Amino acid sequence: MSALRRFAGYFVISLIAIQVHGQQHDASVIFKFSWKYGKPSDYIVTVHRTGQVDYVSDDHSLSPTQERNQPVESNVEQSIQANDAASQDRFTKQFQATQRVQEKVFALAEQLRFFDGQFDFTAHPIAQTGSKTLSYEEASRHTSTTYNYSENPSIQQLTEIFQGISLTIESGRKLEFDRRFDKLSLHQDLKAMDDLSKDGHLYEVQAIAPLLQRIAADRTVLHIAQQTAQHILARAGLAVAPNSVQ
């Protein structure tokens, strides 16, 4: 009988361990940003425990569709209008996070008690920089905190990571558009990205690596644009061509 009880005890413990592991495996950290002056005005970044990242953005800061679709005279205005229209569409992207970022995000979430608390700076009024919400979700836990600005170093680190991911993805969207419709602007786009990369503000560049690799190999664009794309890839430790060895 005692052996049966021991077996039953082990079985229960195993079930609990499996359940806990499953909950941790399904856990996710979510960053939601909203500000009418933001570019984009709204986006959500979800980092799953598995390392998968889901990115969704909407830009509600642009002029209404009926205003954007008024007849225009010049090709430049038509290009700007088309760019606005493309930007306002809901955009989604999925990619795999680097192990460093995935581990950092969850470690910071744990340090912050999974966002179960108040972290917004309220000592005195400060400039609005957008509503930011950090959430932690798993089967048995749903916690979140909303802030404009926080003095907490861990909150600041997470904000930098998530905003850096958005910056990378949205920069990639701009590159994709200009590669199709305005190749002469690619160097300016890439120069701005290169500066951000040097300052450590671009996160998860691998998410747009295929596009950068195509530009680096595209002889129809300015040579300096090709070189800048190569520099951004190299700085991120990525291959400058799909099959090249680092």
Question: Which residue is listed with tokens 């430049």?
Answer: 76
**Regions in the chain scoring below 50 on pLDDT:** 7-8, 10-23, 63-74, 76-77, 245-246
* pTM beyond 0.95: no
- The helix/strand/coil state of 89 is coil
- The helix/strand/coil state of 45 is strand
CATH class of the domain at 25-152: alpha beta
Domain boundary assignment for the chain: 25-152
* H-state helical runs in the chain: 2-25, 65-68, 75-88, 99-111, 153-181, 186-198, 209-216, 223-235
* Residue 211 token pair: 């596009």
Give residue-wise pLDDT tens across range 121-136: 999 999 999 999 999 9
Give residue-wise pLDDT tens across range 139-177: 999 999 999 999 999 999 999 999 999 999 999 999 999
